[in-house]
Every structure is written in C-alpha cells, then in structure tokens.
Amino acid sequence: MLLEDHADDSVLSTVIGVAKKAGELIAASWGQAKGFDCKDGHSTDLVTQTDRQVEQFIFERLKAFYPKHLFIGEEGVDEASVQLSDAPTWVVDPIDGTTNFIHNFDQTAISIALCVNKRAIVGVIYNPIRKELYYATQGGGAFLERYGNDAVRLTTSSTDDLKRSLVSIELGAAHGEADKLNEKWQNQMFPLLNHPIHGLRQLGAATMNFMAVARGCVEAYIESGLKPWDMAAGELIVREAGGVITMIDDENEPFRLTGKQVIASCNQQISQSIHRVLNSE
C-alpha cells in the first residue's frame, strides 16, 4: 500500500474540515463550568461528556469518507475501536488537555492522525479556542493557520545550545502517585533543573507541547506515559517542521507510536544534549 494513496491534499482538507466542525462543539461550552468523570477512579485523569461527543462526531464524519479504515480514539466511544496495526488507522484524541478544557485554560486541542504502518502520514491539531490549526503530511512540510489567516510554514528553533533553551516536561496524570512522580523527577526533571537551561514549562496538553516545538518557541518537549493519540499527529508535525523525535530510553532507537515516551527536539544538537543530560545523573 502506497503512502501517497493516503497522504494527499483531499485527505488533508477532509480532516481539516472535520476538525474545525468538531472544534465548534468544544468552543460551545468554553467559559462555562463543566462536569467530569475520573477515568478508572484516578482523580487526576479526567473525561467530560464533550470528549465523548467530539470523538463520536469525528468518527462518524471520517467513517463516511473512509469506511474501510480502522479507528482508535482516546475515549473508546466506538466498539470497533482497535489496537494499532499496520493498516490505515485514524488515531484521534477528541480533547487533548481535558483538564485544561475543564478549567477553561486555552491550551487544549483536537488531534487527528491517519497512520499507516504505525506512523502518522497526515496529522491535524486544532485548538478551537485560540483558532490555531496545525497540520502536516508526510514529506509535505508542516503549517500553521491562525485566525483564518493564510497558513505559514512551521520551522523549529535553530538554537543548538541547550543552555539557551526552553524545555517542556509534563507530569501527565502522575500527581499524587509517588512511584510515577519519583521516576519522572529522578530521570527527567531533576537532571534538567540541575542544568542551566533558560527554563522548564508544563502546558498541560501533549499536542500543545509538540506544537510549541514545531513553531520554534520551545526547544524540546519530554514526556513518558503517553498513548498513541497523544503523540500521533504531533510527532508528524514536529518532524515535518524539522524537529528530531527520539525515545527517552535510547536516542538510537527509532520512535514508536506505542512506545509511551518521547523527546521532541528542535534539532539533532539539542536532542543529543538532552539525552546527555538525562543520562549523566
């Protein structure tokens, strides 16, 4: 199966149309108090009715265009939702940064990726509150369209000195879970805090961290404990913006969507420096 069969402009414009429409569902409840449930009893892993509604909407729309493709969504609203395989599969996070959404903090986005051979070939991330649309196709570059203006090509930061870098690290849903926190603290945060970088950030949404790297305002983003829907579109967009994606454990191991961890760096030098710092403590 040829990648070109899938990563063409018509697929991209279909996904963009679906993402923008779905974004209206999120924007409709913006600024209001929202109810939520805790996933599997975890008080830090939240889901709202809007997450489920948006996922359902995206699945229905995309299935009408691509009935033979497979679908994976964070909220599992569809019984046909599957494990990631090599077949063309849509990987969807209806609201990435659900906690931000609940708190009306505008770092939240829809993430939709078409994956083939377990790697995204089309990726769209849409923040419906800031009206920022990020997209990429494999080999076609990465772009940002803001407030309906013409799209601009995205390029990662050219900084090659970690000491002049801003780095984002997410705790994810680890708050209050000592084992996970210890691991993140010891292996990621402490080594970086102990290194004179310009600063650490935590935006609360994997997609928004990836996009901060893609548009050049953050030099690297580090997180473990991620799921395919947190990474699929973001990884492609960063890669197409010129970034380097590696696994935290081993910088020589190719990125895997099922690998649960990522370092998204603006370039090879920063990637190597981050790996050196994380491995030196």
Single out the catalytic residue among 55, 75, 96, 132: 96
List the one residue out of 201, 225, 224, 198 whose CA is nearest residue 211.
201
CA distance 55 to 111: 10
Query: Min. distance of Cβ 170 from ligand IPD in angstroms?
Result: 4
Toward ligand IPD, which CB reaches closer, 140 or 201? Answer: 201
Catalytic annotation present for 40: no
Residue 69 to residue 61: CA distance in whole angstroms: 12
Residue of 51, 55, 75, 93 marked catalytic: 93
Query: CA 107, 111, 214, 254 torsion: positive or negative?
Result: positive
Give 93 or 219: the residue with its C-beta nearer to ligand IPD: 93
- In the Cβ-directed half-sphere of 8, how many Cα atoms lie within 13 Å? 5
Min dist. Cβ of residue 255 to ligand IPD (A): 16
For ligand IPD, the closer CB: 47 or 87: 47
Concerning whether 125 is annotated as a catalytic residue, the answer is: no
Active site residue 74: yes
* Residue 95 annotated as catalytic: yes
Residue ranges in contact with ligand IPD by CB under 6 A: 74, 93, 96-98, 170, 172, 204-206, 223, 225-226, 230
Is 235 an annotated catalytic residue? no
- Alpha-carbon separation of residue 225 from 68, 135, 181, 259 (angstroms): 30, 24, 11, 9
Query: What is the chain's length?
Result: 281
Q: How far is the CB of 36 from ligand IPD (least distance, A)?
A: 11
- The DSSP call for residue 174 is -
Q: Which is nearer to ligand IPD, 96 or 219 (CB)?
A: 96
Smallest separation (angstroms) from ligand IPD to the CB of 168: 10
As given in the structure block, the two tokens for residue 230 are 């947190």
Catalytic residue among 51, 55, 74, 219: 74
Q: Distance between CA atoms of 30 and 106, rounded to whole angstroms?
A: 9
Catalytic: which of 98, 156, 159, 207?
Answer: 98
Catalytic residue numbers, as ranges: 74, 93, 95-96, 98, 230
